[in-house]
Amino acid sequence: MSTPPPPGYYVPAVLFMTESEDFDVPAIQSHVIRLAKGGVTGILVQGSNGEAQFLSQAERKVAIKLTRETLDANGFQNVVVIAGTGAQSTRETVQLCIDAKDAGATHVLVLTPSTWPPQMTVDNVIKFHTEVADASPIPTMIYNFPVVTAGQDLDSDTIATLARHPNIVGTKLSCGNIGKLHRLTSTFKPTEFAVFSGRSDFFVHGLMSGSAGAIAALVNIVPGLHGKLWQLFKDGKMEEAMALQAKLGHADWAIQKIGGIGGVKSVVSRNFEYGDTVVRSPLKRVTWDSLTINKHYGALEEVIGMEKAL
């Protein structure tokens, strides 16, 4: 029986690029090190924020290897590396899982194929994830994110069926459905099947419902605050935890309103002095000037100030 990744807070790391849209290796390394110093339990390479769908197979393997080697070289051998391996065919997804293991990942996170949504019946979704898990050399996790899978939203019955596979060990719920999360956590022990919130705006709510933690985009910007919230919850300081959760909830909403991946890169490069705002075309680049006039940016400024004061 395979084991899930440890509980905690994880980051679907953005991948910095040069003006030519090649990997900006020094910036990627700086980001990985800052996240590790912020206490993250693990780094998800090629989650939706990692532009996986815009990378070649070779690039995906390089990004995983670079992350693992950067962590190891800087004394962060304990930080877990999870790789996103979703692709449009079972064959390619399995190969990406093999590549992920070779590059140093311990677990993989798998999106459901979405090019032909009418083909993805419940039975076919289960067949796809089962075949991938059967063939993957490392444990797999189910990634439920309707926004990037043409609206496909796996329900708790489907995920529960898959959770009984010996090599499927968890799920990331970017759907934001706390009821679904609670149904799964009340059915499976976290040591068998780990259920992670996929957004920061229900981090504590998920923990209160038995989640294993969160894998959330906002961690790219304020890893330390997520660690503080994690500790407040573990210490039973719920009033303080809920007050901080409120601030992270507003900030999480803000990153959705400032341009997604491009917005996250712009915020990080401006406030932490590494990287640039380049994203792979056709994604949209977000300039600093556009951020300063965005009404939602104030919520991010507040939590960045708190992060720097830690």
Read off the tokens for 109. Answer: 């996170």
Any catalytic annotation for residue 37?
no
DSSP state letter for 302? H
Nearest to 143 by CA among 220, 196, 210: 196
Q: Where are the alpha helices (DSSP H) in 143-234?
A: 156-163, 178-185, 203-208, 223-234
Q: Residue ranges of the alpha helices (H) in the chain?
A: 25-37, 57-73, 90-103, 122-135, 156-163, 178-185, 203-208, 223-234, 238-257, 260-272, 288-292, 297-309
Q: Which of 37, 61, 101, 172 is catalytic?
A: 172
Whole-angstrom distance, CA of residue 116 vs CA of residue 119: 6
Which helix (H) or strand (E) is 287 found in, with range? none
Q: Classify strands 80-84 and 140-144 as parallel, antiparallel or unpaired.
A: unpaired
- Residue 293, classified by CB atoms within 10 Å of its CB into exposed (0-12), middle (13-18) or buried (19+), is exposed
Closest CA to 252 of 292, 296, 218: 218
Query: DSSP letter at 55?
Result: S
262: tokens are: 């491009």
Handedness of CA 285, 50, 214, 274 (dihedral sign): negative
CA distance 108 to 64: 11
194 sits in which H/E element: strand 194-197
Please name the amino acid found at residue 43: I
Q: Which positions are annotated as active-site residues?
A: 172
